[in-house]
Structure 1
Amino acid sequence: MTSLDKPTDQGNADQDEQTASDSRAVTEAALFEAFGGVRGMVETVVPGLLFVTIFTVNKDLHMSAIAALAVSLVLVVVRLVMKDTVKHAFSGVFGVAFGVVFAMMTGNAKDFYLPGMLYTLGLALAYIITTLAGVPLIGLILGPVFKENLSWRTRNPGRKKAYAKASWAWGLILLAKCAILFPLYWWADTTQFGWVLVALKIPPFLLAVYLTWVFLAKAPPPIDVFAEMEAAEKAEKAAKAEAERSAP
């Protein structure tokens, strides 16, 4: 080994470390964009929290339901005023609206939570089934965010494996959540059930997001198919221009 080898090795190590750091940063940003970040979590929790708080105080189903729906609409308006993306807030509004309809139809306050529980169960099964089918759902969700679309399926096996692990994590965590909530739906009273459900809103979600970050941070970087298409388009234009210049 020459005296020049050590600085070169150190430089490569620093470059690898920087690349890994950049990959982690990109993964964090993509996860925040896909799952709504802190504001998305707040928008998920607040309507249910308001519902169970009001119901605990006065046992008034109508007032609790209307308040939950009203705060969901306010969150959408705030996002519109701030010109921010509204997809997470809108999904919250639809979820609360379905809950309000169910509860009003049956007269049972616990049914306010039933649509969300059924959605959670369906989502858990979707994560597991798509992974078994070789098209893990988390890859379908995050592929466009990473600008790789479905390139990970055939061109990036390391990322496909990471997406499969992450989808298994999401599926099993959500199934565990359902295993707690569905028995309580039948056995617990409305107030107890509501507080348990609110308490289980964020921790399982954070665990699933963290595991997704761990798996993807260790995976190969995504293939930017958009950049590839732009490069191919530029090359095609350059070839055409060269052909036109070469023509007699």
Structure 2
Amino acid sequence: MTSLDKPTEHTEDTEHDNRAVTEAALFEAFGGVRGMIETVLPGLLFVTIYTINKDLHLSALAALGVSVLLVVVRLAMRDTVKHAFSGVFGVAFGVVFAMMTGEAKDFYLPGMLYTLGLALAYIITTLAGVPLIGVMLGPVFKENLSWRTRNPGRKKAYAKASWAWGLILLAKCAILFPLYWWADTTQLGWVLVTLKIPPFLLAVWLTWVFLAKAPPPIDVFAEMEAEEKRQEAEAARSAE
């Protein structure tokens, strides 16, 4: 090994570590495979039952029931329930809305409005200089909002990722809202289920690409711990 090889290997190791940390953080933040299943299953059950018997009440209650069951399973396994709970609330809003209007198609409307609102939030926060994906992932990477002022490379990566999320979700809305008006419930339901995972995976992959190439996060928690130890050491020296 020559002296010229060492910096290259060190850089490669750093990039590999950065990619590994990014993958782990994204997996934690977005729930991984299990989180995707919990997102898709209630809607899939609703549209399947409704396609078979056109029974709004049975379809809605079945979707709500499986959402609650997923939370119970998470609680029994003492696992994080944030993804399952978000699924329960989303399904519950859809059930209430559909029951109030009597239109099975309205089961999907709250989720569609949430998707539209989230798309706009990604775009608006990026234009405001505080990309939403950075706000969401900052605590996961233990950097909080340090990237805003201390790590411009990561801020740029978060901005790119937020633009990706916003535009992908807007494209999804551009497909779903016309179908809400023109298609029947089963057609809308199956298209919506089909569009649950692919746009999500594309957005997550683009986020990984942008962040894996960005500078590593600044661990503000480690900095705070180091500062506390320094102050304790100074206090001990002063006491002596």
Normalising by the residue count of structure 2, what TM-score does the alignment of the two structures yield?
Answer: 0.99
> 2:137 aligned with 1:142, yes or no?
yes
CA separation in 2, counterparts of 1:45 and 1:18? 37
CA separation in 1, counterparts of 2:105 and 2:33? 27
Which of 73, 91, 94 does residue 89 from structure 2 map onto? 94
CA separation in 1, counterparts of 2:69 and 2:4? 56
- SS of 1:128's partner is helix
How much has 1:11 moved relative to structure 2? 2.1
Deviations 1:52-108 (A, max 9, x none): 000000000000000000000000011001110000000000000000001111111
Residue of structure 1 in register with 2:72 after alignment: 77
How much has 1:13 moved relative to structure 2? 1.4
- SS of 2:79's partner is coil
Residue of structure 2 in register with 1:238 after alignment: 233
CA separation in 2, counterparts of 1:173 and 1:214? 16
Q: Which amino acid aligns with 1:25?
A: A
CA separation in 1, counterparts of 2:31 and 2:83? 6
Residue of structure 2 in register with 1:176 after alignment: 171
Residue of structure 2 in register with 1:121 after alignment: 116
**Identity across the alignment (%):** 82
Q: Which amino acid aligns with 1:202?
A: I
Which of 65, 68, 80 does residue 63 from structure 2 map onto? 68
CA separation in 1, counterparts of 2:11 and 2:19? 12
Could you tell me which runs of 5 or more consecutive residues in structure 2 were left unpaired when the two chains were aligned.
none
Count of equivalent residues = 240
Query: Which structure 2 residues correspond to residues 7-26 of structure 1 after superposition, within 5 A?
Result: 7-26=2-21
CA separation in 2, counterparts of 1:21 and 1:42? 29
Deviations 1:173-201 (A, max 9, x none): 00000000000000001111100000000
> 2:49 aligned with 1:54, yes or no?
yes
Query: Radius of gyration: which is bigger?
Result: 1
Could you tell me which runs of 5 or more consecutive residues in structure 1 were left unpaired when the two chains were aligned.
1-5
- SS of 1:7's partner is coil
Q: Which amino acid aligns with 1:71?
A: V
CA separation in 2, counterparts of 1:190 and 1:174? 21
Residue of structure 1 in register with 2:161 after alignment: 166
CA separation in 2, counterparts of 1:93 and 1:32? 21
Normalising by the residue count of structure 1, what TM-score does the alignment of the two structures yield?
Answer: 0.96
Residue of structure 1 in register with 2:188 after alignment: 193
Deviations 1:11-56 (A, max 9, x none): 2211211111111010011001111111110000000000000000
Which of 31, 36, 60 does residue 36 from structure 1 map onto? 31
Residue of structure 2 in register with 1:217 after alignment: 212
Structure 1 segments of 4 or more deviating over 2 A?
none
Q: Which amino acid aligns with 2:16?
A: S
